[in-house]
Amino acid sequence: MKKYLIIAACALVASVACTKSENEAPDSLVSFQVANYKAQTKANVSALTEFKSFTCKAFLHADGYESTTQNFFGANGETIVPDNESNPTQWAPSHDYYWPKSNQSYINFVAWYDKAGAPTTATETSLEWAARTISPTDTILFADEAWRYKDNNGAIYKKDAVTKGVPMLFHHALAQINIKAKGVELNDGASNYWRVVLDTVKIANIYKTGTLSLVNSDPSSTQPKEWTAPSSPAVWASPSNADEIKLLERESDISVTDSLTTTAKVLLEGNNVLPQALTNDHVLTVVFSIYRKNQNGYYSNERICEKIKLSDFSNSVSAWEMNKKITYTIIINPKTEKVLLDPAIEEWTEVDGGEYNIGTGAEGERLNG
């Protein structure tokens, strides 16, 4: 999901960092306003759906001192908050800041949101989270760097009433995993019926710790510019600290009520993960029980274990990349005793993945119940 934020300004009075050409009181206050982003297949959404505040650093290059970088918002940057969390009219730092009067001065803006921490490096050309351990509830976003801004005449998005301001487009630094499950062919159209119950669902060897190193460079003009990750696909470097995602682990019997239906059931939703390439070590384990029934009642059951490499499911999903949401739908056919997986990728707009038929051959271990 991408969010637009606009740095705008209005005429108020305050002080500014002293520079050679900014000795007189400037007349334009820097503040922030939210502009909605509209994806191709989704309604407008606000940045407030992701955060209630964010951090911004501003780097001043003053007239006569263009080669010197000054921390306009201070060394640690400023926390930017809305004036109203339900319907803000502006976002603002805790202190007033003003545009330099000289047309030769300019400011570069670097912004991010980190729910549980902060980048280890945040400069005009480097943004890095080093050896960061990611939990499922972590959220990290970073904005395109806004280079060489001198005033508010830089809006390019115009997604709401804001027509002027420094544009900022936020990107997710993490990936997100969702898992669903459903059954198909649960009866043969005559007198035979099947119930399918999930006993175990887990993914092994998910890396939790890694490093994200982003780089940027001066475009020599006033514009926003994306940060560049050194790797492709867009994953974090040096993955380590492998763990598993465990959704379910039990031994079911005929009394359970949460058997699969033809409507997909959500098993995992909104689980943020470290962006990483999928390898043979990323293995999905699905243990399920099949209960057979005819007009005389239930007459047999079988417990089956499937262990499948995630890298085998779809050529279109070879990595959990930044800013992408991957939804896996487990499809179990009790009639043929096959497990299917239907992966789909959302770059905060949905893209279909593919299907992969999984039998109970060499990859699967069958446990008779």
Q: What pLDDT was estimated at residue 348?
A: 56
Q: What pLDDT was estimated at residue 162?
A: 46
For the chain, the structural domain boundaries read: 3-172, 175-210+237-367
Residue whose entry in the numeric block shows the structure tokens 């009219």? 89
Quickly count: other Cβ atoms within 10 Å of residue 225's Cβ: 16
* Ramachandran region, residue 198 (left: φ > 0; alpha: ψ -120 to 50; beta: rest): beta
Residue type, 235: V
- Indicate the class that CATH gives domain 175-210+237-367: mainly beta
Contact 92, 109 (CB under 8 A): no
Q: What are the backbone dihedrals phi and psi of residue 214, each rounded to the nearest 5 degrees, phi first?
A: -110, 145
Task: In whole angstroms, give the CA distance from residue 100 to residue 15.
Answer: 11
Instruction: Label each residue of the chain as H, E or C.
Output: CCEEEEEEEECCCCCCCCCCCCCCCCCCEEEEEEECECCCCCCCECHHHCCCCEEEEEEEECCCCCCCCEECCCCCCEEEEECCCCCCCCEECCCCEECCCCCCCEEEEEEEEECCCCCCEECCCEEEEEEEECCCCCCEEEECEEEEECCCCCCCCCCCCCCCCEEEEEEECCEEEEEEEEECCCECCCCCEEEEEEEEEEEEEEEEEEEEEEECCCCCCCEEECCECCCCCCCCEEEEEEEEEEEEECCCCCCCCCCCCCCCEEEEEEEEECCEECCCCCEEEEEEEEEEEECCEEEEEEEEEEEEEHHHCCCCCCEECCCCEEEEEEEEECCCCEEEEEEEEECCCEEECCCEEECCCCCEEEECC
Task: In whole angstroms, give the CA distance from residue 126 to residue 286.
Answer: 42
Quickly count: other Cβ atoms within 10 Å of residue 142's Cβ: 27
Give per-10-residue mean pLDDT for the chain (369 aa): 47 35 53 41 58 92 93 93 74 84 94 96 98 96 91 60 67 93 85 90 97 97 90 92 95 89 94 95 94 84 91 79 91 81 67 39 38
Q: Which two tokens stand for residue 259?
A: 């058997």
Strands 78-82 and 54-61: antiparallel
Terminal C-alpha separation, the chain: 45
Q: What pLDDT was estimated at residue 179?
A: 94
Q: pTM above the 0.85 mark?
A: no
* Ramachandran region, residue 221 (left: φ > 0; alpha: ψ -120 to 50; beta: rest): beta
Quickly count: other Cβ atoms within 10 Å of residue 29's Cβ: 19
CA angle 111, 114, 118 (to 5 degrees): 85
Contact 232, 238 (CB under 8 A): no
